[in-house]
Amino acid sequence: MSLDAALETFYAEAKEHLESMEHILLQLDEGEYNDETLNDIFRSAHTIKGSAGIFALEHIVEFTHVIENVLDRARENEITIETKLVNLLFQCRDHIQALVKTSSEEFNDNISLQESGANLLTQLSPWINEQEPSSTQNEAEEKLPAINQENLTQQKCWHISLRLSSDCLKNGMDPISFITFLSGLGEIKHIETITDNFPSINNYDAETLYFAYEISLSTDADLATIENTFMFVQDDSDITILSPEATVDDYLALIDALPEDNQRLRDVFIKCGSLTEQTLAQAHKNKEEIEALNSKSQRDEVPPQPKALLETLKNSDLQQQKSTNERKSNKQIRIDSDRLDNLINLIGELVINQQRIDLLASTSKNPDLLEAVDDFEGFTEQIRDAALKLRMVQIGGIFQRFKRVVRDTAQELNKEIELHIEGAETELDRLMVEKLGDPLTHIIRNAMDHGLEPVEQRVSVGKQSTGQLKLAAYHEAGHVVIAISDDGKGIDIEVIRRKAIEKNIISAEMKLTDNELFHLIFHPGFSTASTVTNLSGRGVGMDVVKRNVESLQGSIEINSTLGKGSEFKIRLPLTLAIIDGFHVQSQDTHFIIPQTTITECIDLTSHQHIEGRHCIDLRGEMIPFLNISEIFMLNGQPNQKMPNKKSIPREELVIVQFGNDIAGIAVDRLYGEIQTVVKPLGPIFNSLKGIGGSTLLGNGDIAFILDIPQLIEMAINRDLSHRHLAN
């Protein structure tokens, strides 16, 4: 029986619950919570503890148990939610996270983790419910052992007093099975059946149990094992198990507690060998005292009544919320993401095959067939869109994570920062959402560290004391845009220029636009902060941010006004799996240009070229362009010559735009729109610039998917270097 798979499930589940705990803690922090919220966070801790226990992850159980207790007290309104407690609970949550990531063995070796846990528990102590031991019980316990420590019987025997529920038989439980089970644990020395309750034959009900048992059992088993025997009946029944070390007073207390006549029970106990006449007489004089103590401690155990009432009130309050939750949850199912990816792959194959059929049909010239194939194409497209939608997830999930980052970072920096989230419902391919976490974290930390000013500085320039940070997502022209903006001090272009010159990234003479200067911060090893903090690092991050975004076929833009704030815009395609493409050809090679990037197609030869530059004049605007056959050295002939009118044959120019950048791509032939199933290129093509993937055409030919952002950048850079050369 392998539980490894279940352990994996536990880790995934714990992660989910920790996320949910964090989310709720943020709500508690903002004072936005109700009983259901408190119940949810309690349940998360409760589930982590419960599951961890099953896998014997004691280090998790031990710590989480205390947190669970505190949260239980919070939901029972025994303690109030205060900032100090919430802060502490945040740390405890993180500690649980650390514990989950640590195996029991690692934990035993990890002194610092143990210490930090102990430290947290100490801090939590004001909120922990000390299980106040009732003083009366203590007194009784202290008194009892003093009286009689000697063995009551010759053999070391347990005494088991069984008063099973009268419904025991009705519930399908035969008392004999328990007795048989007990005899498996050791030797039953004596068993006395008490038939006092047996009714007259007229009142006899065959399904009711009338017997009680007093059993003397000789066994090496421990108390828990013996108790386990009665696991299923212990709640309806009165079962008392006295250990071989039990004193005569324990027995006397038991005799008092049992419903049968005391004298008769004494006789039964003596028959069992559990008591002797002598010990009974000896202990007799203490009896009254113990009775008094026991009755007192019993009074203390009576549960307070109003709780039940409170529970009913709570329930009615929650009814409405519960029913909405129900509706939501009934409409959702969970699917293994691998299955979904497989479905998308299959639909990719379907699309390719549909194109093959399309091609064959068009050669047949059969109008009926053409019409059928046309319909087929329509449905294939719909299936494709529906399947891709399955993989879309709301970006809100990842946005929520930043609430915590912002909260903690603000505290660390001693700044006041408010995070606003917009467009959390915007959907994006799951694969992309997963890869967005790191770049977003970096940009947000940068904004908090370098962008937003400390309170005094903000007040001195007339801004509100709390820095505003906004995380927004929205759709724009077939792309999803994620914008991170702040109302901080903005990016100082002059500082960037100075730094870039200092670091030999640009020369002092170079004339760059503001936008080009902003983009220098993505240059490897560039840092604008005069003092390096441990938060946003040493400028090693922004180039990684850019690379991450580009690996998702995305781009990043910066807008900033000095003194007013900055905005970073990440622009991403909706999905990476199947795209609407535009099929073009250069020499003998087929290419696909993602349709969302295309603004228009023009005839290259009919437009004026700027002398000495790879640039045309399009309605008064300078557009740099690239020739595909030149870039990819088709025919094996790299064209090193400077372009002039003669070297350019009649060509088509596809104008593409990405973000604010526009460029032209010169090709030999335009075919038109085509559904493109993106097949990634193997790792050996990683260094190949300008190609984002490949696809199969309906006729079986391979076409390369152009990486437009990279090509635009190449076109602009080439034009720039020509400009510098010209200068």
Partner 1 sequence: MSKTILIVDDSASIRQVVTITLKGAGFEVIEATNGKEGIAKLDGTKVHLIISDVNMPIMGGIDMVKEIKQLPKYKFTPVIMLTTEASEEMKQQGKAIGAKAWMVKPFKPEQMLQAVNMLT
Please give the residues from 313 up to 342 whose contact with partner 1 meets the rule CB under 8 A: 322, 325-326, 329-330
User: Which range touches partner 1 (CB under 8 A), out of 8-16, 292-300, 498-506, 612-620?
Assistant: 8-16
Task: Answer whether 404's CB lies under 8 Å from 26's CB.
Answer: yes
Give the number of other Cβ atoms within 10 Å of residue 144's Cβ: 19
Cβ distance to partner 1 smaller for residue 322 or 498 = 322
Q: Please report how close the Cβ of residue 207 comes to partner 1 at its closest, in angstroms.
A: 11
Cβ atoms of 583 and 675 closer than 8 Å:
no
352 C-beta neighbours (distance < 10 Å), count: 18
Total Cβ atoms within 10 A of residue 644: 10
Q: Is 717 exposed, middle or buried (0-12, 13-18, 19+ CB in 10 A)?
A: exposed
Q: Which two tokens stand for residue 436?
A: 């967005």
SS3 1: coil
CA distance 553 to 571: 9
Should residue 262 be labelled a site residue for partner 1 when binding is judged by CB under 8 A? no
Does the footprint of partner 1 cover residue 23 (CB under 8 A)?
Answer: no
Show Cβ contacts of residue 532 under 8 Å, excluding neighbours closer than 6 positions: 538, 539
Residue 219 interacts with partner 1 (CB under 8 A): yes or no: no
Q: Interior CA angle at 16 toward 11 and 19, to 5°? A: 125
Does residue 10 interact with partner 1 by CB under 8 A?
A: yes
Tokens 């946005």 belong to 399
CB of 12 to partner 1, least distance (A): 8
Contact flag: residue 73 with partner 1 (CB under 8 A): no
Candidates 29, 38, 46, 625; binder of partner 1 (CB under 8 A) is: 46
Residue closer to partner 1 (CB basis): 13 or 543? 13
Which of 37-45, 184-192, 373-381, 434-442 is the region at the interface with partner 1 (rule: CB under 8 A)?
Answer: 37-45
- Residue 241's Cβ-count burial label (10 Å; 0-12, 13-18, 19+) is middle
Q: Does 50 bind partner 1 (CB under 8 A)?
A: yes
Our CB check for partner 1 shows the closer of 229 and 586 to be 229
282 binds partner 1 (CB under 8 A): no
Using the rule CB under 8 A, give the single segment among 7-15, 454-462, 508-516, 632-640 that binds partner 1. 7-15
Structure tokens at 16: 């989910």
Question: Taking CB under 8 A as the rule, does residue 51 contact partner 1?
Answer: yes
d(CA 123, CA 237): 42
Binding track over 671-690 against partner 1, x by CB under 8 A: --------------------
- Footprint (CB under 8 A) of partner 1, residues 226-245: 228, 231-236
Q: Containing H/E element for 615?
A: strand 615-618
Q: Check: CB of residue 584 under 8 Å from CB of residue 627.
A: no
- Cα separation, 608 vs 407, whole angstroms: 56
If binding is defined by CB under 8 A, does position 72 make contact with partner 1? yes
3-state class (DSSP) for residue 450: helix
Q: Nearest distance from residue 275's CB to partner 1, in Å?
A: 30
Binding region for partner 1 (CB under 8 A) out of 301-309, 397-405, 430-438, 715-723? 301-309
Return the range that interacts with partner 1 (CB under 8 A); candidates 299-307, 466-474, 487-495, 585-593: 299-307
- 364 touching partner 1, by CB under 8 A: no
Residues near partner 1 (CB under 8 A), total: 49
Q: One symbol per residue from 170 to 209: x for binding partner 1 (CB under 8 A), - otherwise; what is it?
A: xxxx---x---x----------------------------
> In whole angstroms, what is the distance from residue 427 CA to residue 391 CA?
9
Task: Say how far apart CA 379 and CA 362 lie, in whole Å.
Answer: 18
Written as six digits, the tokens of 234 are 């212990």
Sign for the CA dihedral angle at 380, 382, 385, 388 comes to: negative
Judged by CB under 8 A, the chain residues 472 through 511 that form the site for partner 1 are none
User: Of 47-55, 348-356, 367-375, 425-433, which part binds partner 1 (CB under 8 A)?
Assistant: 47-55
User: By CB under 8 A, is residue 35 in contact with partner 1?
Assistant: no
State the residues that interact with partner 1 by CB under 8 A: 1-3, 5-7, 9-10, 12-13, 39-40, 42-43, 46-47, 49-56, 61, 68, 72, 170-173, 177, 181, 228, 231-236, 301, 303, 307-308, 322, 325-326, 329-330
